[in-house]
Chains A and B, each alone.
Chain A
Amino acid sequence: MSPLHDKNFESIEQHEHHHHIVSPRIYLTIVCILLAMTGLTVAASYVEMYVFNAVVALAIAAFKMILVVLFFMHVKYSTKLTKLTVGAGVFTFLILVGMTLSDYWTRAWGRW
């Protein structure tokens, strides 16, 4: 094993096995943003935006989800294995939904 490889491996080990404690300040900031976003999405639903009402609401929901996953669920501070698992989960979920929708979409849409 080359010294360089060894050194890299050690740094990965250290990085991966360091248990990060997220501070209450971060949690408090995140919860305030989440509550503000809830207010924003309710306010946005009172504005007539036609098809964009759904788009805006889902975009805000996705943003809130990302904050919860990264900070409350510690994924930002997690091992590469956890990050990969979460990413693969979301990816597989989107594939399944996408395939299902494309199947329904291309056969007798709405005639059931």
Chain B
Amino acid sequence: MSDSQVVSNQVVVHGAAEGAHHEHLPYQRHHFETYAQQSDATNFAMWLFLITEVMFFGGLFTAYLIMRNWYYPAFVEASHQLNIFWGTANTAVLITSSFTMAMAVWSAEMKKKGTLLLCLTITFILGLVFLGIKTIEYGEKIEKHHVPGFHYSMQSFLNPQSDPEVYKEYKDKPLSYDMARHTELYFFLYFAMTGMHALHMIIGIGILVFMIFRARAGAYTTGHVTFVENFGLYWHFVDIIWIYLFPLLYLISRHQ
């Protein structure tokens, strides 16, 4: 303690006013003790946000579960309208994009700028491919008047043979008018769930563009990877939603 007596009083007062001031990395916020504490806190916040997202999509999934059980024949025949080829392709695209996103986080952690840019760009492109395929699928629904609303058509369910493409695969029996009406509910939930999922993809792709520009300027490879890491969590979350949407909408009613 002999040092502190030599140093002027002013320094001691200054130190007390600032709290226990310490050396830290330029990207560490002042109110955190350590960088580890800062990244833990940010990570925690991101997870809390994702849990609110789980609750939001959870409501849609619960609605689907209840409606499917009430109007089972309508939901089965309506789901036969979905194209399993495109659904499977999109699942593969999204899982691959999750992988490239995980690799982007790894590149940032390893401070590899080139690899980071490559991974972010591939993730961005795969996100666009997903939305492109979704557009093809939505286009089919629009053509067949399977979008809920004033122009909704029950033709494919009142008279399945009028829809030869689907009929030759599933040999569906005609539904009663009252049951066929409820196919509109299936498509309402289909568009609500895949639409909200697609909106999340669009937001994610927007943030990816932002990140690509920032990464080009040298961001994220300085040891401060929080943004890439937390965006990764978001992207994987969107992937998980699709992992459930795919079987529930496309697969589980093939034999009923």
Interchain CB contact (< 8 A) of A48 among B37, B252, B255? B255
Q: How far is the CA of A72 from the CA of B91 in the complex (A)?
A: 16
In chain B, residues 16-74, which have Cβ atoms closer than 8 Å to a Cβ of chain A? 34, 36-37, 39-40, 43-44, 47-48, 50-51, 54-55, 58, 61-62, 65-66, 69-70
CB distance from A112 to the nearest CB of B (A): 7
Contact mask for chain A residues 71-112; partner B; CB cutoff 8 A; 1 contact, 0 none: 111100011011001100110110011001100100001101
Structural contact, A73 and B232, CB atoms closer than 8 A: yes
Q: Interface of chain B, helix or strand or loop or mixed? A: helix
B103 and A24 contact, CB distance less than 8 A: yes
Of the candidates A31, A53, A61, A90, the one whose C-beta lies within 8 Å of that of B95 is A31
A82 touches B70 (CB 8 A): no
Report how far A58 CA is from B68 CA in the complex, Å.
15
Q: Are B44 and A82 in contact (CB under 8 A)?
A: yes
Other-chain contact of A85, B44, B84, B91, B243 (Cβ < 8 Å): B44
- Point out the residues of chain A lying under 8 angstroms from B37, CB to CB: 17
Interface pair A68/B106, CB less than 8 Å apart = no
B251 contacts chain A at the CB level, 8 A cutoff: yes
Q: Which of B198-239 contact A (CB under 8 A)?
A: 229, 232-233, 236-237, 239
For A4, the chain B residues whose CB sits under 8 A away are none
Interface residue count on the A side (C-beta < 8 Å): 54
Identify the closest chain A residue to B41 (Cβ). A81
Q: Does A65 contact B (CB under 8 A)?
A: yes
Size of the B side of the interface (Cβ < 8 Å), in residues, is 53
Q: Point out residues on B near A: beta carbons under 8 Å.
A: 34, 36-37, 39-40, 43-44, 47-48, 50-51, 54-55, 58, 61-62, 65-66, 69-70, 84, 88, 91-92, 95-96, 98-99, 101-103, 106, 109-110, 229, 232-233, 236-237, 239-240, 243-244, 246-248, 250-256
Q: What are 28 pairs between A and B in contact, CB < 8 Å?
A: A27-B99, A28-B99, A38-B88, A38-B95, A41-B247, A50-B255, A53-B254, A54-B252, A57-B251, A60-B247, A61-B244, A68-B236, A68-B239, A68-B240, A68-B243, A69-B236, A72-B232, A72-B239, A79-B40, A79-B43, A82-B47, A85-B44, A93-B58, A96-B55, A97-B65, A101-B66, A110-B70, A112-B70
* Given A45-B254, A57-B252, A61-B247, 16 new contacts (CB under 8 A): A16-B40, A19-B39, A23-B106, A45-B247, A45-B250, A46-B254, A53-B252, A53-B253, A57-B248, A69-B240, A71-B102, A73-B236, A82-B40, A85-B48, A85-B51, A97-B58
